[in-house]
Amino acid sequence: MINVLRDFFLGSIKIHILYHASVEPIYGAFLMEELASHGYDISPGTLYPTLKQLHKDELLEKYEEKVEGKIRKYYVITDKGRQVLKEGKQQVKELAEEILGKDWRNLSK
């Protein structure tokens, strides 16, 4: 894939992760399924380093719980993450309106 598209998709995935972490605690296996349902083919080798980086950047907080005898890492959004998500949503909206037109939401109707 062309690097520009890969970078765009990775950015989209990060915004998607922040969104879900703003709704409820998230974990890797959930995200793999959620992202796949939107057409993202992301490997664990991409997803887990992305979660680690979002945590390192203080956009996500992490905690662990024992689930069915195994330790599961959960992530929730931080205040800093909420601000990044807010800005990201605005940029996505502006991009969609510019590229697809003001009535982009009605394109599939």
Q: For the chain, state the CA radius of gyration.
A: 15
What are the structure tokens assigned to 79, written together? 């205040």
- What span, in angstroms and rounded, lies between the C-alpha atoms of 37 and 41? 9
Query: Which domain, by its residues, includes 23?
Result: 3-106
User: What residues contact 27, with CB distance under 8 A and at least 6 apart?
Assistant: 72, 73, 74, 75
Q: What is the pLDDT along the chain (109 residues), one digit of tens a residue?
A: 578 888 888 889 999 999 999 999 999 999 999 999 988 888 999 999 999 999 999 999 999 999 999 999 999 999 999 999 999 999 988 888 888 887 766 666 5
Question: The domain that contains 8 carries what CATH number?
Answer: 1.10.10.10
Structural domain count, the chain = 1
